[in-house]
Structure 1
Amino acid sequence: MTAAMHEWGADPDRAALAVLTVHGRGQDPSFMEETARRFGPVPVRFFAPEAEGNTWYPLSFLEPAERNEPALSRSLRVLDSAVDTLARAGFPAERVALWGFSQGACLASHLALTAPRSFAGLVLFTGGYIGTSPPAVAGDGPLRGVPTVMRSIEHDPWVPRYRVDETADLLRRAGARVDLRVDEGDEHIITDEACAAATTLLTTVANGSAGTAAGHAT
């Protein structure tokens, strides 16, 4: 399954890294492009598919996964297809970072846990795995060593802290090096600190020094 891909950032022939970008509910790639400007200059090219009707699945990500079908499976196939498209364009998974916010972070988290690849990095702003049962993970899989930035807000109105923590734990069990920070507040926002952490990860990975991308990695 394919979807129109919006692009911006470094020239694709010079970009050290591709960032597969997943917007939230009621948003579109232009929101993510605006947010990416807060990252400052990074040597990456952003690729953002757009969800049909600006939503990847209809209900809360906390509902049983089957209640979000068939949209959930369709949207995961969109991301799968995008990864394949990037590979054909010269960006294999190890040169692709996955970045999502809100519903997009939920979809990206779920993809990383249920169909893991050796991604260059993960940037997950306010999201977690989808459904009521955590996906099974293996500690010796392709996520081993993948630098991961996770950010959220303590009392976010849509994404509870416990699900962010659970998802961070699952990613750690899968071998990812997770830098998790949850700030005080009750707004559904992306903080300046979150953008700075994303910039550090993307720049470090793009420069070939992924080992120090997440300053508080565990």
Structure 2
Amino acid sequence: MPSLKTGGIPLSQAKKAAILIHGRGASAESILALKDYLSLGEYAVLAPEARGGTWYPYSFMAPDKANQVALKESLTIIKAAWDQISQAGIAPENVVLIGFSQGACLSLEFAAQNAQKPKAVIAFTGGLIGEKVQEEKYSGDFHGAQVFIGSSERDVHVPLSRIKESETLLSRMGASVKLLIFKDSNHTIRKEEIDWVNENIL
């Protein structure tokens, strides 16, 4: 059974919830530390953990078959966390998906494959998964839900071109997408991103 760490308000008492999704080589515990910087005081926080510390083995832009089995399992793990929140009586519009790097890609992919109106999807350096962005993979309507993607314009793992392709498709699906792109080449979460998210989403 995949590991799931929790924090914040107990799920049974919360009116809002956040799913935090860690990056490659990290853990549920490490991404849970983000709650100390984000304004999640009113949220139940769930952080699922990937088997072996990785949600899928290769680059998020590798040929689809390379990541297919692991990605399917990982999306199932995120769905289980989402369902747990739903079963606690928290509506989708009060749920936030938050991920970094591999976790950001997974949060965007899960949201796009199950498009509805969450409170927001917050992707710290990420894009939709696949060798190419395939519109036919995605269905549903975001109904104006906020999607935030912050990144470097020269990130070694996530090309700006894929971020912009993701923005185009998500916008077409009814999301209100905000990009915050920085001139540096750091693969990190910046204070400016945290501040924007706290002020405009959470």
* Cα offset, 1:144, TM superposition: 1.9
**Partner in structure 2 of residue 143 of structure 1:** 142
Structure 2 residue 123 is the aligned partner of structure 1 residue 124: yes
- 1:102 matched residue in structure 2: 101
1:53 and 1:76 map into 2 onto residues whose CA distance is 15
Whether 1:64 aligns to 2:51 is no
What do the CA deviations read for 1:2-36 (whole angstroms, capped 9, x no partner)?
63321112343553310111110001122212222
Q: CA separation of 1:53/1:140 partners in 2, compared to 1, >3 Å: closer, same or farther?
A: closer
Partner of 2:41: 42
Q: Contact conserved, 1:121 with 1:201, CA < 8 A, in 2?
A: no
Q: CA deviation at 1:92?
A: 3.1
Please state how far the C-alpha of 1:117 moved relative to its aligned partner. Answer: 2.8
The ranges of structure 1 where at least 4 consecutive aligned residues each deviate by more than 6 angstroms after the TM superposition are 137-140
- Please give the TM-score of this superposition, normalised by the length of structure 1: 0.85
CA separation in 2, counterparts of 1:53 and 1:116?
28
Deviations 1:30-86 (A, max 9, x none): 221222212246321211100000100000001122111211111111111221111
2:194 alignment partner, SS class: helix
Amino acid at match of 1:76: L
1:92 aligned residue:
91
- Aligned partner of 1:12 in structure 2 is 11
Percent identity between the aligned chains? Answer: 32
Instruction: Flag structure 1 segments of 5+ consecutive residues without an equivalent.
Output: 204-218
CA distance in structure 1 between the partners assigned to 2:32 and 2:189 by the alignment: 13
In the TM superposition, residue 110 of structure 1 has moved relative to its aligned partner by 1.1
Paired residue type of 1:85: Q
Unaligned runs of 5+ in 2: none
Indicate if the aligned counterparts of 1:128 and 1:164 stay in contact, CA closer than 8 A: yes
Across the aligned residues of Structure 1 and Structure 2, the Cα RMSD in angstroms comes to 2.1
Compare 160-169 and 52-61 and name the one that shifted more.
160-169
